Amino acid sequence: MEALNGETERLKKEVCLAVRQLFERGLIFPHGGNVSARLPGSSEYWITSNVYKGWIQPQDLVKMNLKGEVLEAREGVKPSIEYPMHQAVYERREDVNAVVHSHSPVTTGLTLAGVELQPITAEAGLLLKKVKTVPFAPPGSQVLAEKAAKQAEGGTLALLLQGHGVVGLGRNVLEAVGVVETLEGLALTQFFAMLAAGRVPTIPVEALKDLEGVE
């Protein structure tokens, strides 16, 4: 039990570190973005709340189960309105233990403009195979949760929420954060290439075949 408590505390600290890092990088905002994580195999998860994200601490997280019930929260603290989306993903993906929802400006801007991310680097070529777009649905709605979870099926690593933001999925917090940060870097590089060249140059498709299986 003590070991489990240690694991839970570590998990909560990781969530807070991720939130503060994404906040400082301008990928999540006081009213945009949320992070959750669970211990592998658990049907309970910890999610960010209505507390200011730049200063978030482990005691500001809310513990929930997959029925949408709050199991632990300090007084006055409510779970993120996006908990239905996190819950729906956990229900459908046993391998996912962390969900990072950001409002990454460049990735979201390109998605909103209808510009598809392209294989501009080998890294992009591999990652984009596991990225899916989710048509617009109101934030916090059950409709968004269902649409997102459906697209998260299979081996999806990231969702581009049209007119909203990005969702990174991972076996742990670091993986999910990494997906969101990598996508924003790629989106920024593609945007610069578009500005400079007026089009999106891509790497040769044949080169990507040699990279199959490389993670």
Is 24 an active-site residue? no
* CB 5, min distance to Zn ion, A: 31
Quick one: tokens of 6? 């240690």
* CB 82, min distance to Zn ion, A: 6
Closer CB to Zn ion, residue 136 or residue 192? 136
Cβ atoms of 86 and 67 within 8 Å: the answer is no
Q: CA 119, CA 109: separation in Å to the nearest integer?
A: 18
Cβ atoms of 35 and 20 within 8 Å: the answer is no
Beta-carbon contacts of residue 210 (< 8 Å; ≥ 6 apart) = none
Nearest residue to Zn ion, scored by beta-carbon proximity: 165
Quick one: tokens of 156? 């999806």
Dump the DSSP string for 30-52.
Answer: TTB-EEEE--TT-SEEEE-BSS-
Closer CB to Zn ion, residue 48 or residue 118? 48
Closer CB to Zn ion, residue 81 or residue 211? 81
Closer CB to Zn ion, residue 125 or residue 165? 165
Burial of 83 from C-beta contacts in 10 A (0-12 / 13-18 / 19+): buried
**Nearest-10 crossing angle of helices 105-112, 173-197:** 60
User: Site mask, Zn ion, residues 59-88, x = CB under 5 A?
Assistant: ------------------------------
Number of residues that bind Zn ion (CB under 5 A): 1
Catalytic residue among 82, 94, 123, 206: 82
* CB 115, min distance to Zn ion, A: 20
User: Site mask, Zn ion, residues 139-178, x = CB under 5 A?
Assistant: --------------------------x-------------
* CB 25, min distance to Zn ion, A: 16
Quick one: tokens of 43? 């049907």
Annotated catalytic residues are 82
**Contact set with Zn ion (CB under 5 A):** 165
